[in-house]
Structure 1
Amino acid sequence: MDTEEIVRTFVEYYEDRGHHRITGSTLLPPPGDPVLFTTSGMHPLTPHLEGRPHPLGSRLVNVQRCLRTTDLEEVGDPTHLTVFEMLGTWSLGDYEGPQSLDWGYGLLTEGFGVDPGRLHATVFGGDDRTGPDTASLELWEKHGVPVELTVEDNWWSNGPTGPCGPDSEIFLWTGDTPPRSTPTGDDRWVEVWNHVMMRHRRLGDGSLVPLPQRNVDTGLGLERLASLLQGRTSVFECDVLAPWRRLVPPLWPLDEPSLRLVSDHLRSAVVVIGDGVRPANTGRGYVLRRLVRRVLTTLWRDDPSRGLGDLPQELVRHTLDHFRQTLDPDEPRRVLLEEERRFRRLLERGRQVLARPRFRGPLDEEDFHYLHDTHGLPRDLVLGLRPQ
């Protein structure tokens, strides 16, 4: 299945079970949401998870583009992307967790053809505040899926306060041997789907109170699922990233982790620009700036003459089209080139500043603050400019 067929199969499966498709939002969260970017499909639905009726009913399904800055340091491995699409389903006070897991098992094994013997689940094992999730455990035992009980790994929260609850995660075996061990014991078990039983709200003092309704919120990464269904070894080899895989290596010869980082960060930058963000020193603009500068630092490590002006127009257009963004492809290129020029100037100024006698020895916190506040040189850039 290509990604379009996966999306169609997913949405139609849940529509057949009474879910209404809602339109995914941009990467920018709704007003009042404290996060910089939409990190999951539940963000735009927070008021409805807390009890406000949704105009389309209590069973919903959608495809939402997301950005997770927490995954930046993970990019380069086989499974993490900065910008990705999340397939999601919701029960807003309707059915409970076991029904959600039962449908999820059916879609994976029948709709997508996954061998049940390659599945493993994890379930919340309980702590001093909340008992174990026995209903999910019994559902998996009914299907013959092995289960591992955990505590921290199977409790989902949207920050220190707010909606939260136990979850059950579904893993798929990716090794070339028969499945072995458990998801916490062998990283060849790759998480593909998380079903959150969102029943509680955590207060500022850490205590839990019941939400007005018992919800189920599920999330399934599209690119990760596509790579697994297509028999690929990483998300960077699935069909939606194939143009990057084809066009970037001849342009910039890179080792595998660097190729993944450059492709991911440039693709993510195009999507962020397409949603209206521009480089800045704070907030969303700084995330975009950091993505671009990480690309340039990687490219220039081997060849300082490399530049983003060589980025094929086809990749920009393909990315905007895939995410259904109407921006003229020339605009992301303009923004990227301007940010490249700005970064080159900053690097040159940084080298001159760091050549001063004051900064030739070890730097302390006062030095880092001075370099940032006076010269606009962030810590990571300073560390990158100094000999290791």
Structure 2
Amino acid sequence: MSKSTAEIRQAFLDFFHSKGHQVVASSSLVPHNDPTLLFTNAGMNQFKDVFLGLDKRNYSRATTSQRCVRAGGKHNDLENVGYTARHHTFFEMLGNFSFGDYFKHDAIQFAWELLTSEKWFALPKERLWVTVYESDDEAYEIWEKEVGIPRERIIRIGDNKGAPYASDNFWQMGDTGPCGPCTEIFYDHGDHIWGGPPGSPEEDGDRYIEIWNIVFMQFNRQADGTMEPLPKPSVDTGMGLERIAAVLQHVNSNYDIDLFRTLIQAVAKVTGATDLSNKSLRVIADHIRSCAFLIADGVMPSNENRGYVLRRIIRRAVRHGNMLGAKETFFYKLVGPLIDVMGSAGEDLKRQQAQVEQVLKTEEEQFARTLERGLALLDEELAKLSGDTLDGETAFRLYDTYGFPVEPDG
């Protein structure tokens, strides 16, 4: 019997707790004291000042399951969500962190034990491949000599993005700040799925999937590009909960894990949809997660900044509901099923359920009225049309003022 997503989350935290890590609660999706960030998008965000030596905690090892949103700014996945196996606006990032405590040796050994030990995730060792930064001989030797991975499954990745340190295996918080080489662990789903190992021309296929990124923070990058050594080398790791759940539940798409299957059924119920393979169900199941948790963390729909991103996600979900044939406001009805499926990670949401539902309901009703006005404008403009193309100004107004889609799925 494979583990549920909630059990996988708990097992990860339990494992690192047993290795002397403090279990720390997920921080808010609204980053604290970091104006450079729209939303929390990685487990390390709440520890940024600790890595920089500006903040001191009473522990030197931590583990979290961090709520993350990527839908705007650098990580803008919104238009892909629902159409691929692994794009989400909201996901949970499992992480373990060392603040000047252990470094490469222990970080790699911990990851290997959790993934392959019979007591924990029990993944077949021969299915795991790893990448290291081209010049990181230390990490390469730990994988080869201590862990025992054959050389043909350890891949060195250089500066493959056109500039020094611009590499899939060199992690940087931004243009400045903590950074360092990383090692990534990939799972081979098997030759019945197309794709090649990392670094190969076929690496974008779905056969080899990155499941865990282990960052060795060694430097603080300055504005002029120089790399200053950090006072204490540290470790920051991230593993997408939904990805590892897909691997452990033997499915190839994140949308086929227990958590999403349950949510998709709830979406079908409230919209009246009968075809469970319809992509719109996946869009809505993903979007209720980001919208509900953003509102619970204090973001309100508006026309600027975070509120604007939230409004766009809500409207995209509502449009997909309309495409499924939803006859009345439906989106807010998914908050309850979401709380049920999130387990311990849904406790904050549960406390604010009524308010979150009210915000979503009001926003959906307002959008319905806006769409009606937009449709009236569209009819007016179409009646005036001499050719078969709407002018750019009207099209932009429909998009900007009335929320009409620019994406083809509208």
The C-alpha deviation readout for 1:253-274, integer Å capped at 9, x for no partner, is: 4544222111100222112122
Q: Distance in 2 between matches of 1:46 and 1:239?
A: 33
Residue 60 (structure 1) aligns with: 62
1:90 to 94, 97, 105: 97
Q: Distance in 2 between matches of 1:308 and 1:63?
A: 29
The C-alpha deviation readout for 1:131-189, integer Å capped at 9, x for no partner, is: x1111111222221512222321121122222111111111112354998413434211
Q: Distance in 2 between matches of 1:371 and 1:237?
A: 35
Residue 116 (structure 1) aligns with: 125
- 8 Å contact kept, 2:184–2:213: yes
Q: Distance in 2 between matches of 1:180 and 1:369?
A: 39
Number of residues of Structure 1 aligned to a counterpart in Structure 2: 376
The C-alpha deviation readout for 1:285-310, integer Å capped at 9, x for no partner, is: 11211111111222223536353168
Q: Distance in 2 between matches of 1:49 and 1:310?
A: 39
CA spacing shift, 1:41–1:313, aligned 2, 3 Å: closer
- 8 Å contact kept, 1:269–1:288: yes
Q: How does 1:217-232 map to 2 (within 5 A)?
A: 217-232=236-251
The C-alpha deviation readout for 1:229-287, integer Å capped at 9, x for no partner, is: 11123222323334213322343245442221111002221121222221111122112
Residue 342 (structure 1) aligns with: 366
Residue 102 (structure 1) aligns with: 109
Residue 169 (structure 1) aligns with: 184
- 8 Å contact kept, 1:271–1:319: no
Single out whichever of 354-363 and 322-331 deviates more from structure 2.
354-363
Residue 140 (structure 2) aligns with: 137
Residue 314 (structure 2) aligns with: 292
Instruction: Name the amino acid aligned to 2:355.
Output: E
Q: Distance in 2 between matches of 1:113 and 1:107?
A: 8
Single out whichever of 13-22 and 307-316 deviates more from structure 2.
307-316
User: CA RMSD of the aligned region, Å?
Assistant: 2.9
Q: How does 1:173-184 map to 2 (within 5 A)?
A: 173-175=188-190, 177=192, 181-184=196-199
TM-score, normalising length from structure 2?
0.82
- 8 Å contact kept, 2:255–2:261: yes
Residue 162 (structure 2) aligns with: none
CA spacing shift, 1:73–1:156, aligned 2, 3 Å: farther
- 8 Å contact kept, 1:121–1:171: yes
Partner of 2:224, secondary structure, is coil
Single out whichever of 339-348 and 242-251 deviates more from structure 2.
242-251
Shift of 1:312: 5.0
Residue 158 (structure 1) aligns with: 173
Residue 329 (structure 1) aligns with: 353
- 8 Å contact kept, 1:162–1:203: yes
Single out whichever of 91-100 and 161-170 deviates more from structure 2.
91-100
Single out whichever of 216-225 and 346-355 deviates more from structure 2.
346-355
Single out whichever of 353-362 and 195-204 deviates more from structure 2.
353-362
Instruction: Name the amino acid aligned to 2:102.
Output: Y
Q: Distance in 2 between matches of 1:367 and 1:233?
A: 42
Instruction: Name the amino acid aligned to 2:273.
Output: W
- 8 Å contact kept, 1:270–1:319: no
- 8 Å contact kept, 1:50–1:213: no
TM-score, normalising length from structure 1?
0.86
Q: Distance in 2 between matches of 1:191 and 1:247?
A: 29
Q: Distance in 2 between matches of 1:42 and 1:198?
A: 11
Partner of 1:42, secondary structure, is helix
Q: Distance in 2 between matches of 1:158 and 1:302?
A: 40
Matched, 1:261 2:283: yes
CA spacing shift, 1:265–1:172, aligned 2, 3 Å: same
Shift of 1:384: 6.1
CA spacing shift, 1:384–1:66, aligned 2, 3 Å: closer
Instruction: Name the amino acid aligned to 2:406.
Output: L
Residue 128 (structure 1) aligns with: none
Single out whichever of 302-311 and 277-286 deviates more from structure 2.
302-311
Instruction: Name the amino acid aligned to 1:26.
Output: S
Instruction: Name the amino acid aligned to 1:3.
Output: T
Q: Distance in 2 between matches of 1:311 and 1:159?
A: 38
Q: How does 1:9-28 map to 2 (within 5 A)?
A: 9-28=11-30
Q: Distance in 1 between matches of 2:43 and 2:335?
A: 30
The C-alpha deviation readout for 1:314-347, integer Å capped at 9, x for no partner, is: 4144267542114343322222221112212222
Q: Distance in 2 between matches of 1:358 and 1:180?
A: 48
Instruction: Name the amino acid aligned to 2:173.
Output: N
Partner of 1:324, secondary structure, is helix
Instruction: Name the amino acid aligned to 2:314.
Output: V
CA spacing shift, 1:206–1:377, aligned 2, 3 Å: farther
Single out whichever of 132-141 and 235-244 deviates more from structure 2.
235-244
- 8 Å contact kept, 1:192–1:221: yes
Structure 1 regions of 5+ residues with no counterpart? 126-131
The C-alpha deviation readout for 1:188-227, integer Å capped at 9, x for no partner, is: 1111100011112222233322222211100111122112
Shift of 1:311: 3.0
Partner of 1:383, secondary structure, is coil
Partner of 1:160, secondary structure, is coil
Single out whichever of 324-333 and 302-311 deviates more from structure 2.
302-311
Residue 40 (structure 2) aligns with: 38
